[in-house]
Amino acid sequence: MIRISTLAIGLVLSVTVSAFAAENQPSQTSSQKAQSKEACRSKCEAQFNEYKCTEGVAPMHGPCEQFNECLQDCD
């Protein structure tokens, strides 16, 4: 009986500690998300710079279609 009580108390404590740790995790702020999105978009633009692609306009060749997919992945 004592073992069951001890196990139950241990389980409750471990769940409580896990929940407390999860609440204290810093979440990304909107400015951090915007910065990472801009960094991703800049990476796409640098990668496809030589093809002179523009967002949303995909001529019928692969690189600009890939450029648009890269930008969509950033969002």
- Could you report the per-residue pLDDT of 12-29, keeping only the tens digit for each? 556 555 555 555 555 668
Record the pTM.
0.54
Asked if 64 contacts 53 with a C-beta cutoff of 8 angstroms, the reply is yes
Residue with tokens 């995909």: 58
Cα–Cα distance measured from residue 1 to residue 17, given in angstroms and rounded to the nearest whole number: 24
Model confidence band, residue 2 (pLDDT cutoffs 50, 70, 90): confident
Cα–Cα distance measured from residue 68 to residue 24, given in angstroms and rounded to the nearest whole number: 37
| Contacts with 65 (C-beta within 8 Å, 6 or more apart), sequence order | 58
- Give the pLDDT of residue 31: 85
Average pLDDT, integer, range 41-46: 94
- Give the pLDDT of residue 41: 95
